[in-house]
Chain A
Amino acid sequence: MYEELKDQGLEIVAVAQDTAGEEAAGPFYDAAKATFTTLIDRQHLVSSLYDMVNVPTGVMIDEEGRVVRYDEGTYTRTYQAGNLSFGTDEYVPILRDWVAKGAASEYVFTPEQMAERLPERDPAELEADAHFRMATYLFERGEREAAEVHWSEAQRLHPESWNYHRQDWSFTPAEAGANWVRKFQSLEGKPYYAPLEKPAEAPPE
């Protein structure tokens, strides 16, 4: 798909939110035979700057550097895991439409519409961010116990962040799957991702 959309002027930048770095992310890039830009983000800098709490997620950025769609689950299809289902097959058509039509795409949000949709950051989330950053640093230095203290604090202060939980669980792989299912089920109808909005509201006259 990338080869086709690249010819129409799309660049894909994939950023691995992996504290374990190339060691963890590299094999996936290899398996995907990725020809697009592939980056490693040990500190989850992009999730922090864009205030995003889950992966995989996509942000569409236009030629002027403006965000036109934000923080959407970039699955290519719906996945079924037991009685749980997640993902959507609706994202790719939206992406294709935007690449073909640009600002004229009915799926594109204006800066004003985007600003309304961007989250407000509260003080607890910012403190969680500082704890998470501390945890990734300590982890990189091999200080796992000290890192765990700050990972736990980040999760407590910002429980909506799937990234904080899942990065932490990844270091105890035996329990990670069960942890995920438990938290997923605890959503009780709340979306794992916000549902896709489509089309975008008509731009103001």
Chain B
Amino acid sequence: MKIQTRPEPAPILALAGSMLLTLNASVPARSAQSAQSAQSIGSTAVTVLYLDRAETVERTLPDPTDLWIPEIELTRVNGFTLKPEGACLEDLCIPVSTEGADPILSSSGDETWFSLTAFARKLDQAFVTARGGERNLWSFSPIPVTQAPFFDRAMAPDFELPDRDGDPVRLSELRGSKVLLLTWASW
């Protein structure tokens, strides 16, 4: 199997395709690096932590510094969905492409891969890793741009958490009532 550094003409990459017209078509360093170790594509399982999510992704691209997951796993990991206009979460869409110095998308055969780490760098999202032995963990901070409704307009961030019986409760279910949100701890 060989990684292609140019995307197949698939609808999902429409944006990237159009950008080729204006960008220098040099091969991104990341893709070249991935191509060298293409035999073991998708061999390493990782667990991705984001907010209260902890999702295991079975296949990632071999890359010592960056985390590439199959594009189809994106929504499960961080809620974003790939659309023609970019990686989208509700009304927010972040342009992503296979081009540039730090590409977020990469194409390999029939599959599109998404770099969670390049995406994080683009959005000033922090991440840290814990690797070694069986352990391969990637922990991501909240994404600043997704917090703009709170920091700019004081909209209460929504969340869903389990009650004592384990049943999920979502804050926004209480719209229409005044809410006193209390955090506390036993410690």
User: A residues touching B (Cβ–Cβ < 8 Å)?
Assistant: 9-18, 20, 22, 24-29, 37-43, 45-50, 52, 55-68, 70, 74, 95, 98-99, 102, 109, 111, 114-115, 118, 120-121, 123, 126-127, 129-131, 133-134, 137-138, 146, 150, 153, 163, 166-167, 169-170, 176
Cβ < 8 Å to A, chain B residues 153-176: 153-159, 161-164, 169, 171-172, 174-176
Q: How far is the CB of B136 from chain A (nearest CB, A)?
A: 12
In the complex, residue of chain B having the shortest beta-carbon distance to the beta carbon of A50: B157
Chain B CB count within 10 A is highest, among A24, A41, A52, for A41
In the complex, residue of chain A having the shortest beta-carbon distance to the beta carbon of B143: A126
Q: How far apart sit A18 and B185, CA to CA, in the bound complex (Å)?
A: 6
The segment out of B48-56, B74-82, B86-94, B101-109 that lies at the interface is B48-56
Q: How far is the CB of A96 from chain B (nearest CB, A)?
A: 11
Asked whether A15 lies within 8 Å of B184 as measured between CB atoms, the reply is yes
In the complex, residue of chain B having the shortest beta-carbon distance to the beta carbon of A52: B183
| Extra contacts besides A13-B174, A170-B186 (15): CB < 8 Å | A9-B178, A13-B180, A16-B185, A39-B161, A42-B52, A45-B159, A58-B180, A62-B178, A68-B154, A126-B144, A127-B128, A130-B128, A131-B139, A133-B50, A166-B185
Q: Which residue of B126, B164, B183 is within 8 Å of A47 (Cβ)?
A: B183
Q: How far apart sit A29 and B182, CA to CA, in the bound complex (Å)?
A: 13
Q: How far apart sit A102 and B178, CA to CA, in the bound complex (Å)?
A: 8
Q: How far apart sit A172 and B155, CA to CA, in the bound complex (Å)?
A: 37
Chain A CB count within 10 A is highest, among B153, B154, B157, B162, for B154
Please name 29 pairs of A and B residues whose Cβ atoms are closer than 8 Å in the assembled complex, sorted by A: A11-B174, A11-B179, A12-B179, A13-B174, A14-B182, A14-B184, A18-B186, A25-B185, A40-B164, A43-B51, A45-B51, A46-B181, A52-B183, A55-B185, A58-B180, A60-B179, A61-B171, A61-B181, A65-B175, A98-B178, A111-B154, A115-B154, A118-B150, A118-B151, A121-B147, A126-B126, A133-B139, A137-B54, A146-B130
Q: Which residue of B128, B157, B175, B177 is within 8 Å of A49 (Cβ)?
A: B157
Asked whether A126 lies within 8 Å of B142 as measured between CB atoms, the reply is yes
Residues of B within 8 A of A24 (CB): 186-187
Q: Which residue of A40, A43, A67 is within 8 Å of B150 (Cβ)?
A: A67
Residues of A within 8 A of B187 (CB): 18, 24, 166-167, 169-170, 176
Q: Which residue of B151, B172, B181 is within 8 Å of A58 (Cβ)?
A: B181
Given A63-B175, A63-B177, A111-B154, A58:B182 Cβ within 8 A: yes
Cβ < 8 Å to A, chain B residues 12-42: none
Residues of B within 8 A of A64 (CB): 175
Asked whether B184 lies within 8 Å of A17 as measured between CB atoms, the reply is yes
Residues of A within 8 A of B186 (CB): 16, 18, 20, 24-25, 27-28, 170
Given A40-B162, A40-B163, A65:B172 Cβ within 8 A: yes
Residues of A within 8 A of B161 (CB): 15, 39-41, 45-46
Residues of A within 8 A of B47 (CB): 137
Residues of A within 8 A of B49 (CB): 130, 133-134, 137
Asked whether B164 lies within 8 Å of A50 as measured between CB atoms, the reply is no
Which 10 interchain pairs have the tightest Cβ spacing? A170-B187, A114-B154, A126-B126, A134-B139, A49-B157, A126-B141, A127-B126, A56-B184, A61-B179, A59-B181
Cβ < 8 Å to A, chain B residues 117-137: 124-128, 130, 135, 137
In the complex, residue of chain A having the shortest beta-carbon distance to the beta carbon of B158: A65
Residues of A within 8 A of B174 (CB): 11, 13
Q: How far apart sit A48 and B143, CA to CA, in the bound complex (Å)?
A: 11
Q: How far apart sit A169 and B164, CA to CA, in the bound complex (Å)?
A: 24
